[in-house]
Structures are given as C-alpha cells and as structure tokens.
C-alpha cells in the first residue's frame, strides 16, 4: 500500500511503525474471510482491510478521529485472526493499537460512553475495587432484562457477566515452594479479574506447578498487565501498569519464566518489548520480560507430567482463545497436554472465529458479542462434549453465559489429571 506521510510525521516512532505496517498491506482481502465482524454483517468497513483504509486516512492526514471511524474501530475485537491469515505479514495489532490511542486523544465520546469507559478502566485492573463492584452487582443481577428492555444494554451485559456467587479475596504476594527437589522457579501473574472471579484457575496452576517441582512466586508490586486499558487507547495507564510489572519481576532471581494463565494478558506481556521500545529506562528490561513470558500450557508442555489414576475419560471441546492462537501462536500445546493425560479432545468448528469476549468488548459491544457467542456455543454444542476447555477467563465467562455445559480452564483439567482437585464446574454439573 502506498503511503504519503511527511518526514515530520515519520519522526514519531509510533507513526513510523504504523507506516511500515500499512506499506506491507497488498489489499488482497484474505483477512475478510476470518474477521468475525465481517463474517457477521459483510460490511467492508468492519473488516481488517476496511479498517486499515480508515486508519491510514486518519493518520496520514493527521486529523482527529471522526464518529464514523470510531464506530468501525470500536467494533474490532482485536482477535488478530487477520494476522494469522495475512500472507503479507501485516502486523494489524500494532496498527489498531496506535489508532485507538489516536482516538482516545482526539475524539470526544458521548458523556455516558466516556463515563462507562472510565469506570471500566478504574475498576477492572484493580482486584479490590473489582471485588467490591461484584458484591454490589449481586442484588442487581435480576434487573439485567429490565435494563436491556429500556436500552441500557451495556449495563445489562455487565450484570449478566457478573457471577451469582460472592467474589473471592485476591491473593497477596507470596511464594509457593516446590514439592520435593526444586526443578525450576517461575513468576505467576495472578491477574486482576482471574483471581477474583475464578480463583480456582490460579489454584490449579500453582498446584500443578509445585507438584512437579516448580517454585511459584506471586511478586510484590505485580498487578494488571495493562491490556484492558491498552485496548481502550489509554496508553499512559497501560505503560504505567507494564512498568510496574517489569519492576516487580526484574528483581526476582533465577526465574525460568513468567507464567501467565490468561491468554489475553500473555499476549500483552509478550509485547512489552515493543510497547516500551523507546523508553531508555525500560526498553531492555521490557524485552527481557517479554522473552521470559510463557503461557501456562507452553511451560507445562516441557515438564514430565505424571498422570493420576481414575480420571474419567471425558470428551473435551477445546476452544482456542484468539489471544492464544492468533496473538501468541500457541496452538498444539494445550491440546497435546490434554490428550496425553487421557482426555478425548475435539477441535471446535470455525475455531478461528472469536467467541465475542475480547476484554471489555462484550460490555462495550453487547450486540456483536451476543451474536458471536451464539455462533460459538452452537458449534460447540454440536460436538456433544462433556466439558469445554479454554485458556482465558474472558472466553470461559463469555461461553458459560450461553450454555449449560461446564466450562473450565485448560489448566484445571491438567491439574486434575495429574493428582489435583476436580474442577468446581465439573463437581457442580
């Protein structure tokens, strides 16, 4: 694609990076076939190719974002299926991230939307605040249908996603020693939503790692990875959260890896090196942390896992989270681990298409998210599985809201099959 940026514009490192991405695009349109929003409605402007044209025009002319541009960029899930499909290597993730920062800095959203986004950015990355919000949501959950009927779809979506049970208290910084001789040492990102809504995921991760000789550290000062605000264009907040994690993990000695069990977080942490590439203080450390980061399935795949006896031979529908399969290109490890431990693993048809979770997308774009969930749940249920497994809390919550099948994290099944506790969702089913 031909571009016409000025030398002054290209002096900005973010614009220079986006210009290189734009020039790689050859208009082939392969991306349209795997873009969830384009598959739903067939609108060219809701495809990666269409959005690339909008972003190019906006950045090239250095103009504030318009309402039309914002509509179509906001509808993008950042699922990154287009990057898997693209034969030219267009790094769409960095381009749309740049566009979102430009929108945040130049577009004046309607007051309610501005307030909602600010509320999400203030609540979700902070476990204690989020926990209080979930307690407040419990008595209001029955009001979700009424709120939707009067047009408050986003508030209704927030209430529907909140669990019926009381949230857990998040874990504090601590060390979980290895069982037996220590074979390795990792830092675990506890996550901001994970630890409050689904503490069994971190419990299973810690249990399976320590049982196989790995010491697990929850580092003091580590918090939200930054992805939630990053995808809302709130760049300074995202970078501040990234720097806090880098500081927390850099002081830990003899780390083999930074292990992450929320794939959306993993995709962002693996991108810290790019996000902080121009920061003279953090660039080198950010690149080191990105290089150390592994999804929990990547790390476990290298361990000699010991299968337990007496685990039922369940049929598992494996939903590959977009951030894992497209963002990190981790595809085979979760399925191979489950199969090695005795589960019958089935791929979900059209597995490249997003379930509609995508961070805060299922709150900010509830209609698209609902349609994508219905499509995903339909393809899963046709497999007639005993359980659904995924590597991301957002996907698990989104899919579970649309089906009676139990949905669990992949690591919960791995922990159970190697001597850990049966996942709570399976005990309840």
Task: Tell me how far CA of residue 247 lies from CA of 200, 220, 252, 271, in angstroms.
Answer: 27, 10, 9, 16
Q: Say how far apart CA 351 and CA 321 lie, in whole Å.
A: 9
pLDDT tens for each residue of the chain, 429 residues long: 899 899 999 999 999 999 999 999 998 989 999 999 999 999 999 999 999 999 999 999 999 999 999 999 999 999 999 999 999 999 999 999 999 999 999 999 999 999 999 999 999 999 889 888 888 888 888 988 898 888 888 888 888 888 877 778 888 899 999 999 999 999 999 988 888 889 999 999 999 999 999 999 999 999 999 999 999 999 999 999 999 999 999 999 999 999 999 999 999 999 999 999 999 999 999 999 999 999 999 999 999 998 888 888 899 999 999 999 999 999 999 999 999 999 999 999 999 999 999 989 999 999 999 999 999 999 999 999 999 999 999 999 999 999 999 999 999 999 999 999 999 999 876
Residue 390, beta-bridge partner list: 319, 409
Question: Are 49 and 29 contacting, i.e. CB atoms less than 8 angstroms apart?
Answer: yes
Q: What is the reported pLDDT for 161?
A: 84
Q: What is the reported pLDDT for 195?
A: 86
Which candidate, 285, 275, 280, places its Cα nearest to that of 247? 285
Q: What is the reported pLDDT for 429?
A: 64
Q: What is the reported pLDDT for 160?
A: 85
Which candidate, 251, 191, 250, places its Cα nearest to that of 224? 191
Q: What is the DSSP code (8-state) at residue 307?
A: P
Q: What is the reported pLDDT for 326?
A: 95
Q: Taking the CA atoms of the chain, what radius of gyration do you get in angstroms? A: 21
Strand (E) positions, 189-327?
214-218, 257-260, 293-295, 315-319
Q: Say how far apart CA 191 and CA 273 lie, in whole Å.
A: 20
């Amino acid at each position: 694609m031909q571009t016409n940026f000025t030398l002054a514009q290209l002096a900005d490192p973010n614009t220079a990076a986006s210009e290189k991405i734009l020039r790689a695009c050859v208009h082939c349109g392969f991306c349209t076939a795997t873009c969830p929003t384009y598959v739903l409605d067939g609108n060219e402007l809701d495809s990666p190719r269409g959005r690339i044209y909008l972003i190019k025009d906006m950045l090239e002319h250095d103009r504030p974002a318009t309402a039309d541009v914002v509509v179509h960029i906001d509808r993008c899930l950042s699922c990154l299926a287009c990057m898997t499909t693209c034969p030219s290597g267009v790094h769409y993730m960095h381009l749309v991230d740049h566009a979102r920062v430009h929108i945040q800095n130049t577009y004046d959203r309607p007051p309610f939307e501005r307030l909602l986004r600010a509320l999400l950015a203030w609540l979700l990355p902070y476990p204690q605040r989020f926990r209080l919000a979930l307690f407040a949501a419990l008595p209001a959950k029955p009001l979700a249908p009424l709120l939707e009927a009067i047009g408050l779809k986003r508030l209704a979506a927030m209430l529907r996603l909140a669990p019926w049970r009381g949230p857990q208290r998040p874990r504090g910084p601590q060390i979980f020693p290895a069982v037996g001789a220590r074979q390795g040492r990792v830092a675990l990102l506890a996550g901001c939503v994970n630890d409050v809504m689904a503490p069994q995921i971190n419990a299973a991760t810690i249990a399976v790692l320590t049982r196989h000789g790995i010491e697990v550290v929850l580092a003091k000062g580590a918090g939200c990875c930054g992805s939630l605000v990053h995808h809302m264009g709130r760049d300074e907040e995202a970078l501040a959260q990234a720097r806090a994690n880098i500081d927390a993990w850099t002081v830990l000695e003899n780390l083999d890896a930074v292990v992450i069990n929320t794939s959306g977080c993993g995709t962002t942490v693996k991108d810290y090196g790019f996000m902080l590439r121009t920061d003279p203080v953090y660039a080198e450390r950010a690149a080191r942390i990105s290089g150390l980061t592994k999804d929990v399935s990547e790390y476990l795949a290298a361990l000699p896992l010991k299968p337990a006896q007496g685990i039922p031979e369940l049929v598992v529908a494996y939903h590959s989270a977009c951030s894992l399969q497209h963002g990190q290109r981790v595809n085979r490890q979760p399925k191979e681990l489950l199969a090695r431990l005795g589960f019958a693993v089935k791929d979900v048809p059209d597995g490249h298409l997003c379930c509609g979770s995508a961070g805060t997308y299922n709150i900010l774009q509830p209609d698209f998210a609902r349609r994508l969930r219905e499509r995903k749940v339909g393809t899963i249920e046709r497999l007639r599985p005993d359980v659904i497994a995924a590597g991301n809390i957002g996907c698990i919550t989104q899919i579970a809201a649309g089906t009676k099948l139990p949905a669990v994290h992949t690591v919960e099944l791995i922990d159970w099959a190697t001597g850990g506790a049966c996942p709570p969702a399976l005990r309840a089913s």
